[in-house]
Amino acid sequence: MDSDRPVPDRNAAKWNKDNDGPLILFQMTISKSHPVNASELVYVLSKLEFLERLEHVKLVFVVTKKLVGKFKRQTIDLVTAVGTDSVRKIRGIGRATSALLSQFGIRTINDLETEVNLRGNIKKQKTTNKTKEPTLKDADPERWDQIVELWEQHELTVKYGEKVAAIA
């Protein structure tokens, strides 16, 4: 179909989150190689509520005419950051957030996991002020909530990364 020709409504894809698909994601490039970050795909698919229905998802690469036939299947870079790796390996945690976490003794992914789990459990219990150490959650609750969201997204990426890589 020519790109300058309008597409009639009857040919347009209809989709909603309750539909069984297909969900077609397009990646456009002019490069012969265009690796894809699994964490970005997991992020999009989680927002669309499609992580549990990956069999209905397709990733299509759109390339220029001169690359047709030369373009090879692209790799999807998996998230391998776990354990003793720096928190900076988590998507969305940069230098400033890493420095802030470090002030509270959180330097590694394990440290962050421990803190998230601990603070999550404390929320369910009554808190006492007896010898309570200051925490980032107490000092900046809004920032803490953002960090917890990044952590939860990282966990999803580790869990679904390989499955998402298979859709390309």
Q: pLDDT: is 123 or 59 the higher one?
A: 59
Give per-residue pLDDT as tens, 103-117.
999 999 999 999 999
Q: pLDDT tens across 55-83, in order? A: 888 888 787 888 778 777 777 888 778 88
Residues 114 and 145 in one domain: yes
Statement to judge: residues 103 and 127 lie in one domain? yes
My answer on whether 107 and 150 are in the same domain is yes
Q: Is the pTM of this model over 0.85?
A: no
Q: Are residues 100 and 149 in the same domain?
A: yes
116 assigned to some structural domain: yes
Indicate if 119 and 57 belong to the same structural domain: no
Question: Which residue do the tokens 């997204």 mark?
Answer: 153
What is residue 120's DSSP assignment? H
Q: Is-cis flag, bond preceding 141, omega within 30? A: no
Query: Nearest CA to 137 among 115, 155, 107, 153?
Result: 115
Q: Are residues 73 and 95 in the same domain?
A: no
Token pair for residue 48?
């669309």
Neighbour tally for 20: CB within 10 Å: 8
Terminus-to-terminus CA distance in the chain, angstroms? 23
